[in-house]
Structure 1
């Protein structure tokens, strides 16, 4: 996942320019994906028997799922190259919203200091490739693995996402779903950045903000 020069330190951001420039309808790629999924991904958002908070969490999860891979490639939401994955789902415990984010991380200090576990092999960390103005983390290729083994460490962050700053969920599948979905994923990106960005700053050698 690539990072751009003006967003290179942000874990998540909306790529509105690409979304507009490559839209099949001339307006929004994301909007087209949302409309195509009103009866599938978004189908559970319109159940009148659910509470408003429950429907909002379900709508937010559906909006995020649609804005990211593998549904959209590239996604409407773009990610820093340290981000291996980011899911937003409604909790089956209480209906709240839960985020799960995995990040590329350095080796744990205990492993980095020790050579006993290496069995004489030249283990390598996450590989990187030059892309744009910087280097992005990538998975090793099959050829890479034939030449040396890799130990790829990662961090898993799991945390609640508040709903009080989200726009309300649409009342039905024909009630400005696209506009509300776009607003929702923008808020979600900001909420995830609030938690994830300080961790990313430390991993990249910056003072946490």
Structure 2
């Protein structure tokens, strides 16, 4: 898998997906099992719509449906979702993330002393990137837990065109994996630098 970095927000766990397949066959896929289980959630008219198909495949390939997901979200983020605008149907990327006090510019940090903040989850472990954040364990002291929602239109992406009919499961899996791969690359390119400025090394230096 791709290594986490300040601008890498999502990645695909393709090797794990194949390893966790039931049969061990080269084309077996854990993601594929979930896709077929949830195929009825995809409307017939959306099966050839690149945006609707991508949103469906993304939802299937991430939590809470798949855990761990075919698409992995960087542990220090909350969630990375894809949706379509109710206004005009455009594809939107929605990222929700905790924001620690120290990641804000000095002059806009909370005006309180001894206020608890998000804490690193001491029971989670990541050998190649940031750890998950959690509520402070000490609940006897006040806490101010800030979070941000970043919503970006994905207008410039060249989306994968799904076939719409899949006589064998492998063709559905291939369409879904290609659609998701476009989104993973697009999210890291579009949102990665913005998130890095919010909660990465550049945090507080906008």
Task: Say if 2:143 is the partner of 1:150.
Answer: yes
Q: Secondary structure of 1:154's match?
A: strand
TM-score scaled to structure 1, two decimals?
A: 0.78
* Alpha-carbon distance in 1 for matches of 2:130, 2:186: 26
Could you report, residue by residue, the CA deviation over 1:165-208 in whole angstroms, capped at 9, with x for unpaired residues?
1110222254722111001111101111112211232222159x
- Per-residue deviation, residues 104-154 of structure 1 (Å, max 9, x unmatched): 223344553623xx6xxx32211013523355132226xx14243332212
* Residues 1:35 and 2:36 aligned together: yes
Whether 2:188 is the aligned partner of 1:188: answer no
Q: Which residue of 2 aligns with 1:7?
A: 4
Question: TM-score of the superposition, structure 2-length normalised?
Answer: 0.79
Matched residue pairs, number?
Answer: 190
131, 134, 146: which is aligned to 1:136?
A: 131
Runs of 4+ that moved beyond 4 A: 108-111
Other structure's SS at 2:161 match: coil
Measured on the aligned residues, the alpha-carbon RMSD in Å equals: 2.7
Q: Distance in 2 between matches of 1:56 and 1:195?
A: 19
Cα distance, 1:19 vs structure 2: 1.0
C-alpha spacing 1:126/1:99, structure 2 compared with 1 (3 Å)? same
For structure 2, the 5+ residue unaligned runs are none
The answer to whether structure 1 residue 112 and structure 2 residue 81 are counterparts is: no
> In the alignment, does 2:165 pair up with 1:172?
yes
What CA deviation, in whole Å up to 9, does each residue of 1:3-25 have, x standing for no partner?
x8822431000011211111224
Confirm or deny: 8 A CA contact 1:38 1:173 kept in the other structure: no
Higher helix share: 1
Contact 1:25 1:32 in 2 (8 A): no
Which runs of 5 or more residues in structure 1 are unaligned?
none
